[in-house]
A = this chain, B = another copy of it.
């Protein structure tokens, strides 16, 4: 990867991004790449994940370098590889070669960076050795968990405004991530009939990424306990009556992500209760995507999902009352407790390193409503935004057995009827949807989501 050949159009894209940044700020910025983190001893490290902001402007997954951006120009700060490293790592590209690949306007050794700090803004890198270095060099705390201040905040706002919508080069990478993710989900469905453990299905899916020199963009969820929303265990055995929920997405070598969920029956056949709920979730999914259009508020998409799910559960006799009223009182959140989705780009929750700066329109804040508080995106949609649409239905014991919630919602839930749906612990259907001037394009549309096709794909 490090030594990939780059093209003129790649360099033009990077220069265009840098120029757009220059149009928004009148001070220099230094963006560090970050380095890898040690695992159990210094020489045994987690794979490098360069900072997304660095990748956006520099394009290459480099370790321990920095770029200084001013007036559209990029200066690379990087040390040439040690001669002794050739034994262990082979011939590495030099600073000048790297500078050329990213279309830099200059290149200097890392030690010179300290001469170029005055008046520069930065963004904290997650990896601790680097944010410590950022803090020391700039003589102020640059902490990944603290909101940026002053010119750092101005820089963060400028970068989020750029990264909110994707250019053609970004979309090309995002389409690659989506395509490989679609293949992985098909592989997971195909592997299910012979699999005894969740882990075996996960292996079939992630090996598709590894074979393409991609990685997961987040820790995969592959579970028969979809009601545990962030389930990162894979030890359960697969039983014929189970639904398997797989939330698995690829990340390309330059950091662009996909994020897709499908839920399929282990036996290759949904039970009638599973199919009924599945179709409620799918109806919400389809209604949301149909509504995506420039100018539409993402919060309204979320509320639409909530309403369609409430309607479906009323039809099934699980909820009682009027759908709008139920959503108003957050009754949908008993079964759909998370947000309808989020921004997607270089990060699977794009730019979440900056808190809600990217996700929430200026002046807006998270709601404290049970049914809205987990919404990660609250902005009007614009062409070029990529969002996930991921409605779900879950029977979360921590919610449904909560005495306060049971009491508050005792008259709107038919608990007797609900008990007939005990074999539906968790369903989610998630696609990656690009906002276009005409409405939307589903980047992951090649992966079927209707119940019959899903059944066929997960049969022997």
A127 CB to closest chain B CB, in angstroms? Answer: 7
Beyond A41-B349, A204-B207, whether A90 also contacts B228 by CB under 8 A is: yes
A213 CB to closest chain B CB, in angstroms? Answer: 5
Are B231 and A90 in touch, CB under 8 angstroms? yes
A242 in contact (CB, < 8 A): no
Selected from B1, B42, B144, B397, the residue in CB contact (under 8 A) with A235 is B1
A432 in contact (CB, < 8 A): no
Chain B residues contacting A235 (CB-CB under 8 Å) are: 1, 213
Chain B residue at minimal CB-CB distance from A46: B46
Tallying the copies of this chain within the complex gives 2
Beyond A1-B235, A87-B396, A397-B86, whether A39 also contacts B126 by CB under 8 A is: yes
Interface of A is mostly: loop
Are B40 and A219 in touch, CB under 8 angstroms? no
Selected from B47, B200, B396, the residue in CB contact (under 8 A) with A219 is B47
Are B218 and A44 in touch, CB under 8 angstroms? yes
- Contact residues of A between 123 and 150, Cβ < 8 Å to B: 126-129, 144-145
A197 in contact (CB, < 8 A): yes
A202 CB to closest chain B CB, in angstroms? Answer: 6
Chain B residues contacting A234 (CB-CB under 8 Å) are: 213
Q: Report the Cα distance A44→B228, complex, angstroms.
A: 17
Are B46 and A229 in touch, CB under 8 angstroms? no
Chain B residues contacting A207 (CB-CB under 8 Å) are: 203-204, 206-207, 210
Interface size class of A (residues with CB under 8 A): 35 or more
A51 in contact (CB, < 8 A): yes
Beyond A129-B128, A199-B212, A397-B86, whether A40 also contacts B346 by CB under 8 A is: yes
Selected from B200, B255, B353, the residue in CB contact (under 8 A) with A42 is B353
Are B352 and A41 in touch, CB under 8 angstroms? yes
Chain B residue at minimal CB-CB distance from A49: B39
Are A349 and B44 in touch, CB under 8 angstroms? yes
A260 in contact (CB, < 8 A): no
Are B230 and A88 in touch, CB under 8 angstroms? yes
Chain B residues contacting A49 (CB-CB under 8 Å) are: 39-40
Are A347 and B144 in touch, CB under 8 angstroms? no
Chain B residues contacting A352 (CB-CB under 8 Å) are: 41-44
A245 in contact (CB, < 8 A): no
**A75-112 CB contact bits vs B (8 Å, 1 = yes)?**
00000000100111111000000000000000000000
Are A203 and B208 in touch, CB under 8 angstroms? yes
Q: Report the Cα distance A274→B131, complex, angstroms.
A: 48
Q: Report the Cα distance A349→B199, complex, angstroms.
A: 27
Are A90 and B225 in touch, CB under 8 angstroms? yes
Q: Report the Cα distance A47→B39, complex, angstroms.
A: 10
Are B399 and A347 in touch, CB under 8 angstroms? no
Can you identify 25 A-B contacts, CB atoms within 8 angstroms? A1-B233, A37-B37, A37-B46, A38-B144, A39-B126, A40-B51, A40-B52, A41-B126, A42-B144, A42-B352, A43-B349, A44-B218, A46-B46, A83-B398, A86-B397, A87-B398, A87-B399, A89-B230, A90-B228, A90-B398, A91-B397, A199-B211, A199-B212, A203-B207, A203-B208
